[in-house]
Amino acid sequence: MRPPAPRPCDSCPYRRDVPSGVWAREEYDKLRGFDAPTAEQPSGLFQCHQADADSTARRICAGWAGCHGDRLLGLRVALVEGRIDEATFAAAAEYQSPVALFDSGSEAADHGQADIHWPGGEAARLIGKISRTRSDLRTPESQPEQEESA
């Protein structure tokens, strides 16, 4: 897992300027758990939504790191288990976002879920962009047809 990007992506649920309704309810609900005291948090890393779950390009979510920082149990567990190195741990724990983020996962989730049933035009544009980028989020019906080789 790579360190956070220099800035949270355009669809990051932690960004204050991202429209509501981009992600599924369950994705927003995940954000709330990281507000708990460190020992009570989920122990996994929160990956940026711009890469497939098993991609070699996957990285720690910059918004997640910027909002929760060095209080994250997932970062500590990943370091101890050798899933990230010390440089990646430090980059995430010390990350400072150049864009405004929500102050908590719950605040981000509340915002994101507010328009979940009626996402606006900008949210719809971001949903389309993510759907084209993330092959692991596509249903078989939405997969582009593959050309058969001769």
Q: Picking from 75-89, 96-110, 113-127, which range would have the lowest pLDDT averaged per residue?
A: 113-127
pLDDT tens-digit readout, 65-86: 999 999 999 999 999 999 999 9
- Measured over the CA atoms of residue 58, residue 87, residue 97 and residue 116, the dihedral's sign is positive
Specify the pLDDT at position 128: 87
Does residue 9 register a pLDDT over 80?
Answer: yes
Collect all residues with Cβ–Cβ distance below 8 Å to 85 and sequence separation of at least 6.
79
- pTM reported for the whole predicted model: 0.84
Specify the pLDDT at position 12: 95
Q: In 13-35, which positions are buried (b, 16+ CB within 10 angstroms) versus exposed (e)? A: bbbeebbbbbbeeeebebbbbbb
Q: Picking from 16-20, 92-96, 136-140, which range would have the lowest pLDDT averaged per residue?
A: 136-140
pLDDT confidence band for 136 (50 / 70 / 90): low
- What percent of the chain shows pLDDT beyond 70? 89
Specify the pLDDT at position 137: 60
The domain limits of the chain are: 1-118
